[in-house]
Structure 1
Amino acid sequence: MTDRPAKLGTRRSPMATSQSQTVADAVTARTGTGVELELITSYGDVTQAQLTQLGGTGVFVNRLREELLSGGIDFAVHSLKDLPTAPAEGLTVAAVVERDDPRDALCARDGRAFEELPPGSVVGTGSPRRVAQLAALRPDLSFVPIRGNAGTRLGKIAQGEVDAVVLAYAGLARVGRLDDVTDVFGPERMLPAPGQGALAVECLASRAGDDLAYLTAVDHAATRAEVTAERSVLAELEAGCAAPVGAYADVGDGRLRLRAAVVAPDGTGAVRRERSVPVGADTAEAASSLGRELAREMIGDGADRIVADAARDSTTPSED
């Protein structure tokens, strides 16, 4: 326990501050260490450009990482799906908090479920992964890119700009907007983004085993194994958040099961695979190997070509 409150760096958005406060409260409850939030504005929060024009992955986390490296904050909380898969020099993920619901949610006018949307309905989403999988299910719908926080996106329905939006269920829960949900997509219909619903606690690697060792108190082993498998798929495919890649792993009955899909942006083609491995003493390495091996199988079936084609489409929006 430290003499002063620890400084937790977070983006300023309502969703980011809500999830960061949840982590802060958990750290204090389990370790007795006081934590105060340090609000930080990232470039991804203020620019109006589509994130693919900015390089996509990392635009929401780089500013927080600068503060970590300079010593301005003690640790940072990220939505794990925003975190690049490549390790950052000098930093480490000290904890992965137990995952919230990883599914995607539909919020539609008149309380409609996805299947009830009239042909030609306009669906707003900032995610090529969602567009690809939704287009495969309903090619008769129209998909448009939108940005902004959850409240801004939901407001576009009332303003008549779109008929529905698709957002992460966990994010809507964190900002108290579950009453707006009209349908939920289980992984059998749409695979979530790798790491969706999970939070990463990042700090200086040099402090992780020293004065910040208490952060391990909020680490959740099963969630870490699941997201490691999912993010290994993304890493092996050399894909970022602008790629139409979905992956979902879950631990149950002594096995780690992983499902992944790479879907063409228009939904007309897809590579889907599933594998599982026993959960043992070295679960982290098993999870990483599972993701890499599954991705290699998918590459053999042309998944890398779908990723490359999607990357060339500069109009494709990025995962929100």
Structure 2
Amino acid sequence: MTATRTIRVGTRASLLARTQTDTVVNALAAATPGLAVDTVLVSTQGDRSGAPLEQIGGTGVFVSALRDALLAGDIDVAVHSYKDLPTAPVAGIALAAVPLRQDPRDALVARDELTLLELPVGATVGTGSPRRAAQLRAMDLGLDIVSIRGNVDTRLGRVLGSTGVAPDLDAVVLAVAGLQRLSRAHLVTELIDPMQMLPAAAQGALAIECRADDADLLATLAGLDDHATRSAVTAERSLLAALEAGCTAPVGALADVVETDGSDDLASSGSGWDIYLRGSVTAIDGSDAVRLSISGPLDTAEELGRRLAADLIDLGATTMMGSSK
């Protein structure tokens, strides 16, 4: 790519979105010395509304405006939290890169540095995720799960307090990756084991999109791609797609890439490496849940997701998702 071209990178205006986008902008600039990169702020439906995500459309509310700007030529690159992306592809848009994923786990931030098991019966725990709410209820800890919206600092303030605002929750559950990116990880009182709470599909990963016909930019962005991360989230999102579930459905998924032949080098073919995929579906009220796992060669990521989804459906996953689909 010629250094004379200015690449316009679109992002949501939240501090987390801009911080995530800055990592992409810096990586692009480092990969192509002299390349001019500008950041363009785009307002999305999810940013403008304070209503619960499932009420304003759920999947895609943080994405469609960025994709519209991309197709209109107003921006050249869109950076998303990968878990926000609908599973269906969009004509004219390519997933150019999936950078190295950060910690995919959920995290608890509680008053008095308490863990989940230490919270008293009746403690109020805030989350904007039906998946987290369902899994928390399924733990049967006697917690009062409260639906909340807002950026990371707004949510943290409801537990820890902020200038002029008294805390009104005992704890919140957030993605640890976002806390890490915002240098707030020191506030975590418990990293929740995936055995207790499976994260959202692609949690902790970024998705970098550009127009499918922009060959030069596709080639440049390919240098930011991490093969293991892309394979893992491909398996997770294949599960989500096969369940016909969106980002607000109570579905958890986590894939680990593991070597099988003693080689430390993950070739682009993935030979000698397997995927271990876990998936769960939990009834919104926590009354029922199903969790299964599957493993297979790295190059079968999509197939593994579909197979695990079929197994979950056989055990009643569709009924558990109910109206959240």
In the aligned structure 1, how far is the partner of 2:57 from the partner of 2:40? 26
Equivalent position SS for 1:170: helix
Match of 1:10 in 2: 11
In the aligned structure 2, how far is the partner of 1:189 from the partner of 1:98? 24
Displacement, 1:30?
2.2
Greater Cα offset, 32-41 or 116-125? 32-41
For the Cα contact (< 8 Å) 1:139–1:267, is it kept in 2? no
Q: Does 1:246 align with 2:265?
A: no
Match of 2:97 in 1: 95
Larger RCO, structures 1/2 (Cα 8 Å, 6+ apart): 1
Match of 1:198 in 2: 205
In the aligned structure 2, how far is the partner of 1:200 from the partner of 1:42? 17
Displacement, 1:139?
3.7
- The partner residue of 2:167 within 137, 157, 160 is 160
- The partner residue of 1:259 within 264, 275, 278 is 278
Match of 1:39 in 2: 41
Q: Could you list the runs of 5+ residues in structure 2 that have no partner in the other structure?
A: 260-272
Displacement, 1:132?
1.1
- The partner residue of 1:115 within 117, 120, 123 is 117
Match of 2:317 in 1: 303
Match of 2:290 in 1: 271
Runs (4+) of structure 1 exceeding 3 A deviation are: none
Equivalent position SS for 1:27: helix
Match of 2:138 in 1: 136
One-letter amino acid of the counterpart of residue 5, structure 2: R
Match runs of 1:206-245 below 5 Å: 206-207=213-214, 209-245=215-251
Post-superposition CA distance 1:262-282 (Å, at most 9, x none): 011122211111000023xxx
One-letter amino acid of the counterpart of residue 258, structure 1: L
One-letter amino acid of the counterpart of residue 216, structure 1: A
Provide the identity percentage. Answer: 53
For the Cα contact (< 8 Å) 1:92–1:205, is it kept in 2? yes
One-letter amino acid of the counterpart of residue 65, structure 1: R
For the Cα contact (< 8 Å) 2:109–2:172, is it kept in 1? yes
Displacement, 1:45?
0.3
Match runs of 1:23-34 below 5 Å: 23-32=24-33, 33-34=35-36
Match of 2:262 in 1: none
In the aligned structure 1, how far is the partner of 2:23 from the partner of 2:32? 14
Greater Cα offset, 157-166 or 238-247? 157-166
One-letter amino acid of the counterpart of residue 98, structure 2: V
Q: Tell me the TM-score normalised to structure 1 length.
A: 0.93
In the aligned structure 2, how far is the partner of 1:28 from the partner of 1:49? 37
One-letter amino acid of the counterpart of residue 60, structure 1: F
One-letter amino acid of the counterpart of residue 122, structure 2: G
One-letter amino acid of the counterpart of residue 4, structure 1: R
In the aligned structure 2, how far is the partner of 1:39 from the partner of 1:204? 18
One-letter amino acid of the counterpart of residue 186, structure 1: D
Q: Could you list the runs of 5+ residues in structure 1 that have no partner in the other structure?
A: 312-320
In the aligned structure 2, how far is the partner of 1:217 from the partner of 1:181? 33
Post-superposition CA distance 1:267-314 (Å, at most 9, x none): 2211111000023xxx2xx10000001101111111011112445xxx
One-letter amino acid of the counterpart of residue 53, structure 1: Q
Displacement, 1:211?
4.0
Match of 1:288 in 2: 302
Equivalent position SS for 2:121: coil
For the Cα contact (< 8 Å) 1:31–1:217, is it kept in 2? no
- The partner residue of 1:179 within 171, 186, 208 is 186
In the aligned structure 1, how far is the partner of 2:24 from the partner of 2:123? 38
Displacement, 1:210?
3.4
Q: Tell me the TM-score normalised to structure 2 length.
A: 0.91
For the Cα contact (< 8 Å) 1:264–1:310, is it kept in 2? no
Equivalent position SS for 2:150: coil
In the aligned structure 2, how far is the partner of 1:139 from the partner of 1:244? 18
One-letter amino acid of the counterpart of residue 143, structure 2: L
Greater Cα offset, 43-52 or 28-37? 28-37
- The partner residue of 1:54 within 53, 56, 62 is 56
Match runs of 1:54-93 below 5 Å: 54-93=56-95
In the aligned structure 2, how far is the partner of 1:250 from the partner of 1:237? 20
